[in-house]
Amino acid sequence: MKKAIYPGSFDPFTNGHLDILNRACAVFDEVIVLVAVNASKKTLFSLLERVEILKAALAGKENVRIDSYEGLTVDYARQVGARHIIRGLRAVTDFEYEFQLASANRFANHDIDMVFFMASSDHSFVSSSVVKDLRANGVDVSPLVPPAVLNAFTKKGL
């Protein structure tokens, strides 16, 4: 059984994330969407909210699990017996950060490899920050996020 981890902040989950996840699901038997617990990173949605959004958005996807973890993704991967970590690449600006992250992960655990999917052209500009910015300025973001995210914004009065 080939398992992979798709880690991220998911603040909130977007259709760009969903696209990467769907494509990873075509390659791996199980993909664990791992919400990063990073106390130093200020998020709009709490950890619990981000997990609840993911549960609603991904309900019915049989080979997807959702979890959260504080610590190195490679340590989580080792604990659950996964050898691959999924990430997405949009513009070249993502490359530098992702390359550094991949090198650090490989330094921490040589047995685990990163697998990258390139953003689809219709999602290449979509990020959680762009979605939050547009929504805060009254733009309809429904084409960019799953309905569960729209509900979560509404619930927050945003």
Binding-site ranges for ligand ADP (CB under 6 A): 8-10, 14, 16-17, 20, 36, 87-88, 90, 94, 119, 123, 126-128
Known catalytic membership, residue 110: no
Q: Is 90 a catalytic residue?
A: yes
> Cβ contacts of residue 75 below 8 Å, gap of 6+?
108, 109
Residue 156 annotated among the catalytic residues of the structure: no
Query: Measured from the CB atom, is 1 or 26 closer to ligand ADP?
Result: 26
Give the shortest CB-90-to-ligand ADP separation in angstroms.
5
Q: Helix, strand, or coil here: 137?
A: coil
Q: Which is nearer to ligand ADP, 80 or 130 (CB)?
A: 130
Cα–Cα distance for residue pair 70/80, rounded to 1 Å: 14
Q: Catalytic: 155?
A: no
The minimum distance between CB 96 and ligand ADP, in angstroms, equals 12
3-state secondary structure (DSSP) of residue 65: strand
Catalytic residue among 17, 50, 84, 123: 17
User: Which of the following is catalytic: 3, 23, 83, 90?
Assistant: 90
- Count of Cβ atoms closer than 10 Å to residue 19 Cβ: 17
Give helix then strand counts, H and E, for the chain: 6, 5
Is residue 103 within 8 A of residue 97, CB to CB? The reply is no
Catalytic residues: 17, 41, 90, 128
